[in-house]
Structure 1
Amino acid sequence: MTQIGFYHLTRTSVPDALPPLLSRTLAAGQKAAVWCSSTPLVETLDKALWQVSSPTWLPHGRAGILCPDLQPIWLTTEEDCPNEARFLFLLEGRQCPDPARFERVFDLFDGHDDTAVAAARERWTAAKTAGHALTYWRQEEQGWKRAR
């Protein structure tokens, strides 16, 4: 089954938290698909990823570019994955109808939004019922802490 990690954002926003996770993904030799619910978030992430310089530059693409299959990181509001990524990042409460398409799924949610937390709990329950391997990560002062 797919490894699904739930990432509870408590200190930063998605545009701040996502680049280090994507950097680790690329460092592991993996490609990523990032599914957003809104075009404004895709645009915000597109700008944010172009500005990352440390620890590394994060090459990426989105709809409308040539050769989407060559992009190490794919930003979208759809359920597409033209780069054949094995890692999927779900933002803004997005869900993946077929997590088995991916090796790992990262579900990031805003810990300051009660509705987002409740929705994440529902996604956790559904993923657990489906038999996926689940982990829960909470943002702390010095990075992420895995809860047992």
Structure 2
Amino acid sequence: MTTELLFYHLETRPLEAVLPVLLEKTLQRGWKAVVEVGSSERLEALDAALWTYADDSFLPHGVVSGNHQDAGQPVLLTTGAENPNAAQVRFFVDRAVPRQSDGYERFVYMFNGHDPDAVTEARGIWRQLKDTYMLTYWQQDENGRWSKKA
């Protein structure tokens, strides 16, 4: 089975608003997730954002610590390549680059449409991985809704 790779082009809503919704949908499907972040600083900021993104919601998650408790977390944040919670979905955010597919049902690559370098990188990743994965491209409209473009 080929791993799906979904590209999410963020334009109207920031990562901190979009990622929690996608993580909740992942958990509703009975899947676990790993979120790979491009830097330690952004990992800390994203961790804080996931705890406070909504007053009426709770998104259980942790940061990879290398101990046995990581396996029980439904969502883990990391800057590395590990998958200690046996996640079915791996998110790549803040310039983290997809590089493996073993054991995953789906990859989600999210990039900032207002950062020209991030857009150029996303195009290059699309070209590089189009023969390896089932790719789809999702873009936000002016209301923040997603539409499938490719």
Match of residue 139 from structure 2: 138
- The alignment's TM-score, normalised by the length of structure 1, stands at 0.92
Match of residue 14 from structure 1: 15
Match of residue 5 from structure 2: 4
List, as ranges, runs of 4+ consecutive aligned residues in structure 1 with deviation greater than 4 Å.
none
Closer/same/farther in 2, CA of residues 30 and 55 from structure 1, 3 Å limit = farther
- Alignment deviations for residues 32-65 of structure 1 (CA, whole Å, 9 cap, x no partner): 0000111111111111111244673110011338
Paired AA for residue 13 in structure 2: T
Equivalent runs, 1:108-147 vs 2, <5 Å: 108-130=110-132, 132-140=133-141, 141-147=143-149
CA distance in 2, matches of 1:143, 1:44: 24
CA distance in 2, matches of 1:55, 1:143: 21
Equivalent runs, 1:1-148 vs 2, <5 Å: 1-53=2-54, 56-64=57-65, 67-130=69-132, 132-140=133-141, 141-148=143-150
CA distance in 1, matches of 2:15, 2:40: 14
The runs of 5 or more residues in structure 2 that have no matched partner are: none
CA distance in 2, matches of 1:28, 1:108: 20
Number of aligned residue pairs: 147
Q: RMSD across aligned C-alpha pairs, in angstroms?
A: 1.6
